[in-house]
Amino acid sequence: MPRKRSAPVPSSPAQGVPPASAGGGGRATIADVARLAGVSKATVSRVLNQRDALLTPDIAARVRTAIEALSYVPSPMAQGLKRGRTKLIGLVVADITNPYSVAVLRGIEQACQEAGYLVVLFNLGNERGRERQAIEALSAYQVEGFILNRVGEDAAVMGELASAGRPMVLVDRRYPALQADFVSLDNGPAMRMAVEHLREAGCQDLLFVTEPLRDVSSRSERDAAFRACVRELGLAGSVFEHAGEDEAALDAALRQARAAAGGRRPAVIAGNSVSTLRVARAVARLGWSFGAELAFVGFDDTDWAPLLGPGLTTIEQPTAALGRAAADCLIRRLQGDKAAPREILLPGRLRIRGSSRPR
């Protein structure tokens, strides 16, 4: 759900001043200020918006005294709506429990804060079909634009969003039918980096473990690059899609990979940090060790990757830069940029640790 922003704690009313709200407490309203100053709400609004040139000094002073006495703070959203600007950006995230999403969010928030915008978050929880709910909820907050890390392929929702006129940027997951800026890891070269590193470590038999491909472009691009690389390099390669429910199936896939390799050491590439954790649990269940029974490289460099076994080799995504690039693209659109949609692909970085070093 959209993240709630805490309201300021109301101050105690000054001696002889009526409570902040006519309802018996809480945050003061513009009506409270007008009543205390003995003027209309329109007069208070003129003072707040520094359009009090036509007011007498006495009236303006009474309004400012009432504002101070009631500790009145105007609502930024209400002021923004009056000017046609809320300075809010809607962020739709496929799965906030994925460390990748959290890391990208940090980059987005930092760039937005520097530009004077606030981020309103909606987590889809990897549930397909919730995108309409997310768009409607964020639209109710009058967000000026969207940054989308999507789950499904709801063409109707995306069409409606495009026709609404709010700019949007896609992160990590493409939607080819939508004319929008797109920011992502450059998945093809990143996968080639992982495969070539494992071949140099002496591995000839590779297994790619990924969450279900479905219509998630980043997973599909990594899958296609993996298949192309093992074929080009003359390696043995297979792909296992794992949704997480059937642990026995993943255990069996790892056993099969090791059996197929004969006396050689097989290697596993995990498609993201979620798949990395699933593989780590399977390795523990089987009583194996990373680097010994199998070599390993995982996409996403998490804080815990150096702590598992001999340390997990990873493909580090430039998550902060991805988030900042997405925010910058959207802010430029909000400022009137009408250029053709951009595609920004950033390179990954290989972080070598003990899980993939030669035996």
| Mean pLDDT score, 125-134 | 82
| Mean pLDDT score, 5-10 | 37
Q: Around Cβ 106, how many Cβ atoms within 10 Å?
A: 13
Lowest mean pLDDT among 24-33, 78-87, 109-118, 203-212: 78-87
Region label for 337, one of left (φ > 0), alpha (ψ between -120 and 50) or beta (otherwise): beta
Residue 80 belongs to a domain: no
- Phi, psi angles (nearest 5°) of residue 349: -135, 130
Sheet holding 88-93: strands in order across?
118-123, 88-93, 145-148, 168-171, 181-185, 343-346
Among the three residues 26, 48, 74, which one is the final residue of a domain in this structure? 74
3-state secondary structure of 27: coil
Identify the pLDDT of residue 47.
Answer: 83
Residues 305 and 327 occupy one common structural domain: no
Q: Which token pair is 292?
A: 């010994």
> Where does the pLDDT of residue 341 fall: very low under 50, low under 70, confident under 90, or very high at 90 and above?
very high
Identify the pLDDT of residue 109.
Answer: 94
150 close to 165: Cβ distance less than 8 angstroms: no
Among the three residues 22, 50, 74, which one is the final residue of a domain in this structure? 74
- Highest-scoring range by mean pLDDT, 1-15, 130-144, 296-310: 296-310
CA–CA separation, 304 vs 348, rounded Å?
18
Residue 178 belongs to a domain: yes
Residue 98 belongs to a domain: yes
User: Domain holding 302: CATH number?
Assistant: 3.40.50.2300
- Say whether pLDDT at 151 is over 70: no
The pLDDT tens digits for 304-338 are 999 999 999 999 999 999 999 999 999 999 999 99
Mean pLDDT score across all residues of the chain: 86
| Mean pLDDT score, 76-89 | 66
Identify the pLDDT of residue 1.
Answer: 43
- Say whether pLDDT at 28 is over 80: yes
Paired residues of 60 in beta bridges? none
Residues 93 and 151 occupy one common structural domain: yes
- Say whether pLDDT at 10 is over 60: no
Q: Around Cβ 119, how many Cβ atoms within 10 Å?
A: 19
Q: Which domain holds residue 258?
A: 187-317+349-356
- Say whether pLDDT at 222 is over 50: yes
Residues 104 and 148 occupy one common structural domain: yes
| Mean pLDDT score, 20-49 | 77
Residue 43 belongs to a domain: yes
Query: To the nearest whole percent, how much of the chain has pLDDT over 90?
Result: 61
Residue 110 belongs to a domain: yes
User: For 270, which DSSP code?
Assistant: E
Residue 132 belongs to a domain: yes
Residue 7 belongs to a domain: yes
Residues 167 and 96 occupy one common structural domain: yes
44 close to 30: Cβ distance less than 8 angstroms: yes
Residues 164 and 220 occupy one common structural domain: no
Residues 295 and 201 occupy one common structural domain: yes
Residue 79 belongs to a domain: no
pTM over 0.85: no
> Where does the pLDDT of residue 141 fall: very low under 50, low under 70, confident under 90, or very high at 90 and above?
confident
The pLDDT tens digits for 104-117 are 999 999 999 999 99
Bigger pLDDT: 265 vs 50: 265
| Mean pLDDT score, 199-219 | 94
CA–CA separation, 336 vs 330, rounded Å?
10
CA–CA separation, 175 vs 46, rounded Å?
46
Longest CA–CA separation in the chain, Å? 93
| Mean pLDDT score, 25-37 | 83
Among the three residues 20, 43, 74, which one is the final residue of a domain in this structure? 74
Helices (H) then strands (E): counts for the chain: 12, 12
